[in-house]
Amino acid sequence: MTYVVLAVLAAATVAGLVHRARYGRLRVSGGDLPPGLLPDGPPAGVTLLHFTSATCAPCRQVRAVCADLAKDVSGVLHVEVDADEHLDAVKGLDIWRLPTLLVVDRGGRIARRTVGVPDRADLRRTVTEVLAA
């Protein structure tokens, strides 16, 4: 019985560490967006495509981070997408948790993605890299 308890605790600890390591981290992604998801076609610069829900508390933090960045950096557009209203896009883009943020380049390709609240400095650095590419 003791071994079972220790195994469960070890598994829970590992799962928690993996979650903490990945939450809010921008990672390289790929693929194209489905047509009609962006308001005016392919972006002129970088689009921060934020999948959200009305009941998502961390989504408000992502909204604030993205809105500040879009206001401060020229060529950045922040677009919120209600996940409940765009289920086909959510499934097609393999979105399993909210908030999910996609950094979309000017070609309409997904350059980076994150689940959770991204670090402001990391997001700014990523956006700058994608704008320069």
CATH 3.20.20.80 matches 25-132:
no
Residues facing residue 109 across a β-bridge: 32
Quote the mean pLDDT of the chain: 82
Q: How far is 95 from 53, CA to CA, in rounded Å?
A: 13
- Spell out the SS3 assignment of 24-43: CCCEECCCECCCCCCCCCCC
Q: Which residue has the tokens 């009305």?
A: 54
What are 21's two structure tokens? 């390591």
24: pLDDT confidence band, cut at 50, 70 and 90? low
Task: Encode pLDDT of 29-47 as tens digits.
Answer: 667 777 777 777 656 789 9
Distance of CA 8 to the CA centre of its chain: 30
* Reported confidence tier of residue 122, pLDDT bands at 50, 70, 90: very high
Q: How many C-beta atoms lie closer than 10 Å to residue 26's C-beta?
A: 18
